[in-house]
């Protein structure tokens, strides 16, 4: 059975709402579901250890197959269920696991509500969600309501209401929720985190983050994103729809939600040019793609002010002919480190970037223990140079040993809230917008993320 993307999203959202009613939330409108009474903070939360972790994966079209490969390499982890709209996608991954000598996972496909059965299964401890972004919140919420830990690809939510729904569901069910922000596990990002923790840059002042990636062909293709869901978002929305790849690491450098928090933002977008030009090249001037009006500006720039007086610039551009960059820059009172390419300048020699030999010494001095210990295995396993594998390795290690996760539901909500709030600011000519404190004050007393390993 094949179902179009729009029908699937609608069904998923309806199921998510029905799940909320079944759990006794009494809410039929997401706007009325925010800030409900919960059973306590999830900051530093530890669940019962699960030495033999059983994982169910929803979505094996784009990012999901790579997750199957990575997770199947981790000791004590077993993929016990796979769900997708399309049977052939599920069967391909099932065959892959069987051929590698793994236990055959349960299969869920076809009906747009089949993913619910995976969440309900007593063979699953962790629901790993790799679907398009409009499905992330309803699927994660239902998984937690079924007693499962849940993780989603990025961003985890597209509205402030969804951010609050994730926070409140995690608090009520006492289940972990994490956004799969793989870029927090990049080798340069983790080295820079180590530098910040050791005070090498002094007091942190400013960070720069971005997702600049030429996706014009992918967005306009009729084969890449199911039913062109990413292109349809660009028609209706502006702001920054994909902030977390660059923002997540900078937030960890600055201890956002763990000693500091977002306070407000202002956001401005350029007009749209790139998609229209590329659409004419690919489909002709009279094509629906070329005639469409796209709300999403080519370049969005958002400036965030934190409670402790720092600033973060976040940019998004997927429609310009530019080399890939996440900027990944952190500046303090003793120096600066910037990426793409990696550069550093430290007191007292801050008028010029370090020479290559000095930079290599810096990298060796501050290599993160996770990369020092597991970097070779991560590179062999693959996934954006190994960062994806290290993310999964840490996630499963924490669940297997009953440890707090490196990134919690409050991080997911804060980082993803920029999607909605940047659009509000752009539509208000760059006007300042307050950013909710999803921790409800917990940021004041929560310890920063440590320099972790496995």
> Please, what is the end-to-end C-alpha distance for the chain in angstroms?
42
Q: Is 25 among the domain residues?
A: yes
Q: Is 194 among the domain residues?
A: yes
pLDDT of residue 151 exceeding 50, the answer is: yes
User: Among 157, 180, 203, which residue terminates a domain?
Assistant: 180
The Cα-based distances of 47 to 23, 44, 331, 398, 413 in angstroms read 21, 10, 36, 9, 20
- The predicted-structure confidence for 73-123, as pLDDT tens digits, reads as follows 999 999 999 999 999 999 999 999 999 999 999 999 999 999 999 999 999
Query: Which of 49, 292, 41 is closest to 170 using CA atoms?
Result: 41
Domain that holds residue 75: 5-180
pLDDT of residue 36 exceeding 70, the answer is: no
Percent of the chain with pLDDT over 90: 91
Q: Is 397 among the domain residues?
A: no
- The predicted-structure confidence for 268-284, as pLDDT tens digits, reads as follows 999 999 999 999 999 99
CATH number of the structural domain spanning residue 140: 3.40.50.720
Distance CA 169, CA 151 (A): 13
Asked whether residue 150 falls in the same domain as residue 29, the answer is: yes
pLDDT of residue 14: 42
CATH number of the structural domain spanning residue 256: 3.30.360.10
What is the rounded average pLDDT for all residues in the chain?
A: 93
User: Among 158, 180, 202, which residue terminates a domain?
Assistant: 180
Q: Is 63 among the domain residues?
A: yes
Contact 16, 161 (CB under 8 A): no
pTM for the model = 0.92
Domain count of the chain?
Answer: 2
- The predicted-structure confidence for 41-75, as pLDDT tens digits, reads as follows 999 999 999 999 999 999 999 999 999 999 999 99
User: Among 128, 148, 180, which residue terminates a domain?
Assistant: 180
Asked whether residue 245 falls in the same domain as residue 273, the answer is: yes
> How many beta carbons lie within 10 A of that of residue 78, not counting itself?
17
- When pLDDT is cut at 50, 70 and 90, the band that residue 1 belongs to is very low
Q: Is 325 among the domain residues?
A: yes
Asked whether residue 43 falls in the same domain as residue 169, the answer is: yes
Q: Is 268 among the domain residues?
A: yes
- When pLDDT is cut at 50, 70 and 90, the band that residue 382 belongs to is confident
pLDDT of residue 270: 98
Q: Is 402 among the domain residues?
A: no
Asked whether residue 294 falls in the same domain as residue 348, the answer is: yes
Asked whether residue 162 falls in the same domain as residue 188, the answer is: no
* φ and ψ of 33, to 5 deg: -95, 10
- When pLDDT is cut at 50, 70 and 90, the band that residue 38 belongs to is low
Instruction: Answer with the residue of higher pLDDT: 290 or 28.
Output: 290
Handedness of CA 272, 277, 282, 286 (dihedral sign): positive
- When pLDDT is cut at 50, 70 and 90, the band that residue 399 belongs to is very high
Asked whether residue 251 falls in the same domain as residue 231, the answer is: yes
Q: Is 449 among the domain residues?
A: no
């Amino acid at each position: 059975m094949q179902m179009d993307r729009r029908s699937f999203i609608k069904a998923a959202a309806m199921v998510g709402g029905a799940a909320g009613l079944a759990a006794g939330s009494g809410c039929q409108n997401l706007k009325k579901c925010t800030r409900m009474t919960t059973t306590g903070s999830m900051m530093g939360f530890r669940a019962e250890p699960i030495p033999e972790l059983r994982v169910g994966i929803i979505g094996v079209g784009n990012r999901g197959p790579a997750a199957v490969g990575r997770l199947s390499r981790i000791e004590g982890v077993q993929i016990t269920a796979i769900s997708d709209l399309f049977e052939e996608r599920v069967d391909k991954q099932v065959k892959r696991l069987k051929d590698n000598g793994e236990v055959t996972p349960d299969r869920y496909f076809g009906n747009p509500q089949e993913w619910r059965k995976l969440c309900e299964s007593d063979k699953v401890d962790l629901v790993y969600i790799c679907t398009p972004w409009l499905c992330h919140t309803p699927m994660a919420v239902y998984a937690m309501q079924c007693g499962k830990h849940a993780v989603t690809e990025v961003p985890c939510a597209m509205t402030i209401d969804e951010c609050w729904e994730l926070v409140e569901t995690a608090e009520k069910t006492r289940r972990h929720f994490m956004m799969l922000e793989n870029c927090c596990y990049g080798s340069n990002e983790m080295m820079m985190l180590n530098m910040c923790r050791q005070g090498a840059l002094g007091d942190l002042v400013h960070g720069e983050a971005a997702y600049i990636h030429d996706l014009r062909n992918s967005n306009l293709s009729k084969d890449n994103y199911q039913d062109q869901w990413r292109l349809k978002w660009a028609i209706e929305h502006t702001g920054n729809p994909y902030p977390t790849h660059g923002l997540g690491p900078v937030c960890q450098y600055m201890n956002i939600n763990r000693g500091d928090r977002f306070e407000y933002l202002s956001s401005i977008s350029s007009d749209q040019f790139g998609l229209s030009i590329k659409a004419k090249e690919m489909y002709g001037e009279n094509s629906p793609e070329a005639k469409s009006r796209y709300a999403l500006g080519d370049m969005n720039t958002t400036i965030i002010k934190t409670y402790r007086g720092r600033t973060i610039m976040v940019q998004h551009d997927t429609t310009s002919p530019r080399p890939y960059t996440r900027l990944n820059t952190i500046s303090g009172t003793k120096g600066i480190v910037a990426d793409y390419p990696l550069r550093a300048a430290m007191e007292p020699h801050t008028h010029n970037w370090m020479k290559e030999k000095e930079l290599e010494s810096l990298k060796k001095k501050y290599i993160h223990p996770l990369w020092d210990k597991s970097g070779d295995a991560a590179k062999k396993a693959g996934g954006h140079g190994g960062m994806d594998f290290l993310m999964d390795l840490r996630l499963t290690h924490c669940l297997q040993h009953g440890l707090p996760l490196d990134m919690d539901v409050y991080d997911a909500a804060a980082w993803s809230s920029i999607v909605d709030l940047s659009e509000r600011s752009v539509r208000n000519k760059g006007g300042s917008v307050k950013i909710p404190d999803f921790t409800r004050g917990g940021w004041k007393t929560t310890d920063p993320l440590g320099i972790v390993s496995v």
